[in-house]
Structure 1
Amino acid sequence: MFGINTLFNTPLAIEKSYLLSVIASLVTKHSVFKAQNLDHNRQELLFLENITAQGIGNADQKFPVVFNIIGPIMKYSDYGCLGTVFYGKLLKQLDSNPAISGIVLNIDSGGGMVSGTAELTNIIKNLETPTISYTSGYQCSAAQDIASGCDYHMASPYADLIGSIGTMLSYQDFEAMFEKWGAKIYELYAPQSTEKNQEIRELMKGNEELYKERLKQLTDDFIGRIKANYGEKLKDDGHVFKGKTYTPKEALEIGLIDELGTLEDALNKF
């Protein structure tokens, strides 16, 4: 249940409509162990690791590769999805392969965890191999953060939504439900630990201010990264840094996207 648990009670960089759309599938994936999915992931990882470890061709036989980032953004790989830690390792391996002329990050994600995202964005930004972000679906929040690390940005004219630069917290309090079942919950803190879990403790009392300050800091970092990575290409329309989502055409107008086209168009640039 690791994957679904990461979507609750932790800061998220995710588009809410996307979060609601994936919760049901995540519950289904993790409520029953699916060996077929796990075996497929293992085979895929081993295949990709073997490719990058052995190298394909040489510097005289160059070719671009498509690197899929699809589904909720998680820090660590799980049964149904790959994590940003693994993505970063694999991208570094691809970067060291002299046969690869360019990397197209094929993104379809409404976002996910804040944790791990900035590190992956930084890895992408510092790759020597040229990179292009491409989406034909969602490129929102944490996924938009990751895309910002690329050298060039493309989208299908039929893509869903782009942007959603911001953070949120989805949290639950199950105490009333447990008490209805006859359970009692006790918490005892050491006298020195007056600030331990303070943010979440205040949140459960109805005081949101401390956690809002945490979210503000995370969002300031997020916005700062986007501004640094896009530079003057990105126009501040008064909405982009407030979490607004855009159609592909709208994203092109403000500079979140450099060009509309197909995945083949992106590959043909290398």
Structure 2
Amino acid sequence: MKELQSLLSSGKPLFITVDGFRQAMLTAFPLNGKTQDNPEVKAAFGMTKAEMIAYLDTHTWYQLESHIALLDILKTTNQENTAPVTLTDEFSDEQLPDNSIAYHRVFGIVMADSYYWFSSKQLQSDLLAAEANPQISCHFLHINSPGGEAWYLDRLSETLRSCEKPILTFYEQMCCSAGYYIGCHGQRIYAMTQNDYVGCIGTMCSFYDFEPYFAKLGIKKVEAKATNSDLKNKVFDDLRHGKDAKFVKEILDPMNVQFLDEVRSQRSKLADLPDDAPVLRGETFYTPQAVEIGLADGSRTMVEAISEASTMGREYTEAKKLETAIYNI
């Protein structure tokens, strides 16, 4: 929880929706004074307490939550009598069946490096492990995120772009801001329902100034800077006093250009839109509009999306085999 509190009080640029920011603030700084960082996990989902403890010896808390979610997905999909498909989060396991699918869960607030929350750095590591595993043929990005921390997404995007294996993005409820920064790298992007929303492509900074409150309590801030340190933290001090021009121009705008360039490079329909198109200015859309604009390619059930990812993986494997055969002639 301290990771989220530190991020929200830091003044760092965020790729996040307004609703997502409110949700994060209430989670990190609840009105009742009790944080929601509850280490009690649902053992009913298929893991005993001993199994969870053993799992956490080599995984993060978020990976444990994702693993439990994956077990639930597998339980549901197995009941559908679909063709056998191996969806896995053990990306380095070379004992997996051929054409296994790497399951990457991007849920909640995006953090660069976190134990309890989704981590961009961890996803990068997982992608590289899955790319190196010959038993895995496709990546499945499962997203439900309002966005979050902007830092490190450029490096994660480099890794996503470099993946040779196909990527299918499947989102439910929302795929916004930093969530879409990640999800846009899918060769195919599907919503779960007609009422999921996607977009909010933009950059913001938001934090609270507690100094007036402290002043009422009789707590006075004392600060001094060296003669030659007049610019130290000045851009943030100016921002706090309502002078945001330099912060916007030198910090938010360059990050936003990176974001827009990345999205446009991955989604051909967006590449041809003018700069003042609503989708490039932070607007959010439900599935029918998203498909029309080019943010998404349609809607699928979870089973349908997994089946399509399996097909993409098989096609990739067959193409690689053909390429190898031609090369060896």
TM-score over 0.5 for the alignment?
yes
Deviation, 1:120, is: 1.5
Partner-residue secondary structure (3-state), 1:91 = helix
**Is the aligned partner of 1:45 residue 2:81?**
no
Partner-residue secondary structure (3-state), 1:71 = strand
In 2, Cα distance between equivalents of 1:112 and 1:240: 18
Aligned to 2:46: none
* Equivalent runs, 1:126-141 vs 2, <5 Å: 126-141=162-177
Aligned to 1:31: 35
Aligned with 1:267 (options 306, 319, 327): 306
Aligned with 1:189 (options 225, 249, 271): 225
Q: In structure 2, list runs of 5 or more residues that go unmatched.
A: 42-51, 68-87, 311-329
Q: Is the 8 A contact 1:102 1:131 kept in 2?
A: yes
Q: In structure 1, list runs of 5 or more residues that go unmatched.
A: none
Greater shift, 193-202 or 137-146, is seen at 193-202
Gap change, CA 1:150 and 1:19, over 3 Å in 2: same
TM-score (ref. length: structure 2): 0.73
Aligned to 1:55: 94
In 2, Cα distance between equivalents of 1:264 and 1:43: 32
Deviations 1:198-224 (A, max 9, x none): 211111222111112121121111111
Q: Which amino acid is the alignment partner of residue 20 of structure 1?
A: R
Aligned to 2:278: 239
Q: Which amino acid is the alignment partner of residue 259 of structure 2?
A: F
In 1, Cα distance between equivalents of 2:36 and 2:265: 43
* Equivalent runs, 1:126-205 vs 2, <5 Å: 126-205=162-241
Gap change, CA 1:43 and 1:251, over 3 Å in 2: farther
Deviation, 1:50, is: 9.0
Q: Is the 8 A contact 1:154 1:257 kept in 2?
A: yes
In 2, Cα distance between equivalents of 1:138 and 1:208: 30
- Number of equivalences: 267
**Is the aligned partner of 1:18 residue 2:55?**
no
Deviations 1:61-93 (A, max 9, x none): 2222321110000111133x1311111111111
Identity %: 22
In 2, Cα distance between equivalents of 1:205 and 1:24: 25
Partner-residue secondary structure (3-state), 2:159 = helix
**Is the aligned partner of 1:67 residue 2:104?**
yes
Aligned to 1:105: 141
In 2, Cα distance between equivalents of 1:93 and 1:129: 12
Deviations 1:18-41 (A, max 9, x none): 221343234459837644469698
Greater shift, 198-207 or 49-58, is seen at 49-58
Q: Which has the larger radius of gyration?
A: 2
Q: Which amino acid is the alignment partner of residue 256 of structure 2?
A: T
In 2, Cα distance between equivalents of 1:40 and 1:110: 31
Aligned to 2:130: 94
Aligned with 2:150 (options 101, 114, 123): 114
Aligned with 1:252 (options 244, 269, 291): 291
Provide the alpha-carbon RMSD of the alignment. 2.7
Q: Is the 8 A contact 1:74 1:116 kept in 2?
A: no
Partner-residue secondary structure (3-state), 1:259 = coil
Q: Which amino acid is the alignment partner of residue 241 of structure 2?
A: K
Gap change, CA 1:127 and 1:196, over 3 Å in 2: same
